[in-house]
């Protein structure tokens, strides 16, 4: 089990323990990075092929021009790579001992944070659809809630069945804790009432 | 005249690059949940971005754009 004590996010309560930080499966970022790989191939390919195809490019001035444009292209690839990485890394589900926080990052200018308390969860299901997801064991976990946001979806996460079991276990623990608290409050109320009756 | 146009275009590209980098750095600082990952990614991003920018600026200023344009568009 990883030590997640160092993880911090907005509104984290003092007595709240981070149980799991869930990102999309690595295959998803690999799919998104496909364009970057193609661009990298073009970059290195052009450096090797273009001077052979156009001998004029071996002249100092033109060679400098070619390297300048390739450098510009490398800057574009670098920014694109990080934009994809930001989209992947900040799109996260945080499972704590009290709730699930869903942070949906879409590009640089769209970020949505929603949360559901564990005792508001009504139903959880997990699904793995397709050949590659089955082979690599990734898929969706759908959570039906009684909260304002009715559906929570963990998209394309690794090992969805284990995540589902984890959340179900936490939900049961949370309900148990709520029942114990309720019983304790009732017992205290009865004790207080009895104490009042026994007074002369 | 053409070299001025190229300089303006280049400045625009650089502005977009710096702006995008600034937004990425802002996200890394503001939203990273794990502090070690934040530091690592910040160092990597800033070092490589600055390196690429610096080398690109050097290349841009090493080209005699007027002579180059004269050769390309006689």
Flag if B68 and A92 touch (Cβ within 8 Å). Answer: no
CA distance A90 to A103: 7
Flag whether A161 is in a domain: yes
Q: What pLDDT shows up at residue A10?
A: 61
Are residues A133 and A177 both part of a single domain? yes
CB B69 within 8 A of CB B3: yes
Q: Which of B17, B28, B71 sits opposite A79 (nearest CB)?
A: B17
The series of mean pLDDT values per 10 residues for chain B, 74 residues long, is: 85 95 92 84 95 95 83 72
A71 vs B contacts (CB less than 8 Å): 52, 55-56, 59
Are residues A122 and A79 both part of a single domain? no
Are residues A80 and A97 both part of a single domain? no
Flag whether A2 is in a domain: no
CB A41 within 8 A of CB A50: no
Flag whether A7 is in a domain: no
Q: What pLDDT shows up at residue A199?
A: 61
CATH of the domain at A172: 2.30.29.30
Pull the structure tokens for residue A170. Answer: 């936490």
Are residues A73 and A151 both part of a single domain? no
Q: Which helix (H) or strand (E) holds A19?
A: strand A18-22
CA distance B64 to chain A (A): 8
The total number of structural domains that make up chain A: 2
The 10s digit of each residue's pLDDT in B16-32 is 999 999 999 999 998 88
Flag whether A4 is in a domain: no
Are residues A80 and A99 both part of a single domain? no
Flag whether A192 is in a domain: no
Are residues A176 and A126 both part of a single domain? yes
Mutate to test the interface with A, among B3, B26, B33 (most CBs of A within 10 A): B33
Are residues A78 and A121 both part of a single domain? no
CA distance A152 to A143: 5
Pull the structure tokens for residue B36. Answer: 């070690």
Q: Which of B31, B53, B56 sits opposite A90 (nearest CB)?
A: B31
Q: What pLDDT shows up at residue A2?
A: 45
Residue A64 burial (C-beta neighbours within 10 Å; 0-12, 13-18, 19+): middle
Flag whether A3 is in a domain: no
pTM: 0.80
The series of mean pLDDT values per 10 residues for chain A, 200 residues long, is: 54 79 92 93 88 79 87 95 91 89 83 86 91 94 83 90 92 84 86 74
Q: What pLDDT shows up at residue A71?
A: 94
Domain spans in chain B, listed from the N-terminal domain onward? 2-72
Are residues A158 and A140 both part of a single domain? yes
Are residues A70 and A102 both part of a single domain? no
CA distance B27 to B5: 33
Flag if A75 and B56 touch (Cβ within 8 Å). Answer: yes
Are residues A69 and A130 both part of a single domain? no
Residue A1 burial (C-beta neighbours within 10 Å; 0-12, 13-18, 19+): exposed
A68 part of contact set with chain B, CB < 8 Å: yes
Domain that holds residue A58: 30-87
A49 part of contact set with chain B, CB < 8 Å: no
A97 phi and psi, to 5 degrees?
-70, -10
Q: Which of A65, A71, A103 sits opposite B55 (nearest CB)?
A: A71
A73 part of contact set with chain B, CB < 8 Å: no
Are residues A138 and A70 both part of a single domain? no
Are residues A69 and A100 both part of a single domain? no
Q: What pLDDT shows up at residue A198?
A: 65
Flag whether A199 is in a domain: no
Q: What pLDDT shows up at residue B74?
A: 67
Flag whether A197 is in a domain: no
Nearest to A100 by CA among A62, A143, A133, A57: A143
Q: What pLDDT shows up at residue A122?
A: 87
Here the ipTM equals 0.90
B56 part of contact set with chain A, CB < 8 Å: yes
Matching residue, tokens 């303006």:
B8
């Amino acid at each position: 089990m990883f030590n997640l004590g160092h993880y911090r996010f907005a509104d984290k309560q003092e007595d709240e323990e981070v149980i799991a930080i869930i990102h999309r499966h690595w295959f998803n970022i690999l799919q998104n990075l496909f364009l970057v790989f193609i661009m990298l191939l073009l970059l290195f390919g052009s450096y090797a092929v273009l001077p052979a195809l156009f001998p004029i490019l071996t002249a100092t001035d033109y060679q400098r021009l070619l390297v300048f444009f390739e450098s510009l292209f490398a800057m574009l690839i670098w920014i694109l790579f990080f934009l994809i990485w930001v989209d992947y890394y900040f799109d996260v589900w945080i499972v704590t001992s009290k709730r699930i926080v869903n942070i949906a990052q879409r590009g640089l200018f769209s970020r949505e944070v929603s949360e559901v308390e564990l005792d508001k969860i009504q139903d959880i299901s997990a699904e793995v659809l397709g050949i590659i997801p089955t082979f690599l064991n990734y898929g969706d976990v759908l959570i039906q809630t009684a909260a304002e946001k009715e559906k929570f979806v963990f998209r394309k996460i690794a090992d969805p069945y284990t995540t589902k079991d984890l959340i179900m276990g936490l939900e049961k623990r949370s309900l148990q804790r709520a029942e114990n608290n309720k019983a304790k409050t009732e017992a205290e109320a009865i004790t207080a009432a009895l104490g009042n009756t026994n007074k002369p | 005249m053409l070299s001025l146009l190229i300089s303006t275009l280049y400045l625009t590209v650089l502005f977009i690059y710096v702006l995008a980098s600034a937004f990425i750095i802002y996200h890394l600082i503001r939203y990273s949940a794990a502090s070690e990952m934040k530091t690592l990614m910040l160092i990597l991003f800033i070092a490589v971005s600055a390196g690429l920018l610096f080398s690109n600026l050097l290349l841009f200023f090493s080209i005699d754009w007027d002579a180059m344009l004269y050769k390309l568009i006689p």
